[in-house]
């Protein structure tokens, strides 16, 4: 596990900055501002991604009847964290957060709470250790029961696409039929400025994040039954009445393991 390094920008902290949070350092603010100077749309993308996550959890609880959540690549606590959305609707929901950033760990200990009926846990494990993630999650979740795997803005950190797919397959392999995958990732092909800003970000020394073609994001759901409307630009997935629905470079969806 690496220590907190405030000399290079970091994914979770920049994301927190764009989401309007305070858990970031000047180096993150500078990298975040350099990014928005090239592509201001990233702020909408970050917020739309969180909004999609919230709507997908609501669907999982209210329509799919899921009560267990495994959120890998948690990020820093923000408004409407996974357990808050799920437990507001079903207080008995059990949630395991996984992230490998030491700063996320520090904040998670202080901020992640639970209803008395449910449970919330945090496991500092890397995405690159999927079997270890499942073993750690099994301390809090009953992995013989349907569980929602959440991968929100993390797979772009895995440079090799086939490796990223393999990690998703190995995580899903440990979950029973009726489990779901809620996934959303930055996509290529919507705005060249987005790709330019991301390329520049990837040169800052931060862990790089790679935007992917929509077809590659779709293929993460291989073997799953996609919930309508499939993999789409996130504002278009079960939009709130009156919410902006223009397509943006963040695609996602929800799939069910048959």
Ligand X SMILES: C[S@@+](CC[C@H](N)C(=O)[O-])C[C@H]1O[C@@H](n2cnc3c(N)ncnc32)[C@H](O)[C@@H]1O
Binding test (CB under 6 A) with ligand X, winner from 85, 96, 104, 119: 104
Q: Classify burial at 240, counting beta carbons within 10 Å of its beta carbon; exposed 0-12, middle 13-18, buried 19 or more.
A: exposed
- Residue closer to ligand X by CB (options 65, 128) is 128
Closest of 28, 38, 250 to residue 156, by C-alpha: 250
Closest of 68, 35, 74 to residue 138, by C-alpha: 68
Q: Does 179 bind ligand X (CB under 6 A)?
A: no
Binding test (CB under 6 A) with ligand X, winner from 137, 154, 181, 234: 154
- Residue closer to ligand X by CB (options 116, 162) is 162
Query: Helix axis angle, 11-18 relative to 26-38, nearest 10°?
Result: 60
30 near 7, Cβ under 8 Å?
Answer: no
- Residue 157, CA atoms < 13 Å, CB-side half-sphere: 19
Closest separation between CB of residue 124 and ligand X, Å? Answer: 8
Q: Does 153 bind ligand X (CB under 6 A)?
A: yes
Closest separation between CB of residue 206 and ligand X, Å? Answer: 10
> Is 252 strand, coil or helix?
strand
- Residue closer to ligand X by CB (options 20, 176) is 20
d(C-alpha 194, C-alpha 32), whole Å: 13
- Residue closer to ligand X by CB (options 65, 181) is 181
Closest separation between CB of residue 73 and ligand X, Å? Answer: 3
Q: Does 50 bind ligand X (CB under 6 A)?
A: yes
Q: Does 74 bind ligand X (CB under 6 A)?
A: yes
Q: Does 171 bind ligand X (CB under 6 A)?
A: no
**Only segment of 110-118, 121-129, 198-206, 216-224 that touches ligand X (CB under 6 A):** 121-129
- Residue closer to ligand X by CB (options 129, 178) is 129
Binding test (CB under 6 A) with ligand X, winner from 9, 32, 41, 75: 75
Q: Which two tokens stand for residue 37?
A: 């100077």
Annotate 103-131 with b (16+ C-beta within 10 A) or e (fewer): bbbebbeeebebbeebbbbbbebebeebe
Closest separation between CB of residue 19 and ligand X, Å? Answer: 7
Closest of 145, 158, 204 to residue 185, by C-alpha: 158
What is the β-pairing status of strands 148-152 and 232-233?
A: unpaired
Q: Which residues bind ligand X (CB under 6 A)?
A: 11-12, 15, 49-50, 53, 73-75, 99-101, 104, 126-128, 152-154, 157
């Amino acid at each position: 596990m690496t220590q907190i390094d405030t000399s290079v920008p970091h994914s979770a902290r920049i994301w927190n900055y764009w989401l309007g949070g305070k858990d970031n350092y000047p180096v993150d603010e500078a990298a975040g501002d350099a990014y928005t100077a090239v592509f201001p749309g990233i702020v909408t993308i970050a917020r739309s991604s969180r909004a999609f996550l919230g709507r997908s959890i609501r669907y999982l609880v209210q329509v799919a009847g899921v009560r267990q959540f495994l959120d890998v690549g948690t990020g820093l606590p923000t408004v409407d964290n996974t357990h808050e959305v799920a437990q507001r609707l079903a207080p008995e929901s059990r949630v395991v957060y996984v992230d490998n950033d030491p700063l996320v760990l520090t904040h998670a200990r202080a901020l992640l709470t639970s209803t008395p009926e449910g449970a919330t846990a945090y496991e500092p494990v890397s995405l690159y250790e999927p079997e270890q993630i499942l073993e750690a999650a099994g301390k809090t979740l009953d992995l013989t029961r349907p569980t929602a795997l959440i991968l929100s803005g993390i797979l772009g950190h895995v440079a090799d696409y086939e490796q990223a797919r393999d990690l998703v397959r190995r995580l899903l392999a440990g979950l029973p039929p009726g489990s779901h995958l809620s996934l959303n990732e930055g996509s290529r092909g919507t705005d060249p400025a987005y790709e330019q800003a991301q390329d520049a970000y990837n040169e800052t020394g931060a862990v790089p994040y790679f935007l992917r073609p929509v077809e590659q994001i779709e293929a993460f759901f291989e073997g799953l039954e996609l919930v309508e409307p499939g993999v789409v630009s996130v504002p278009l997935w079960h939009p709130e009445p009156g919410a902006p629905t223009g397509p943006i470079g963040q695609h996602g969806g929800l799939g069910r393991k048959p």
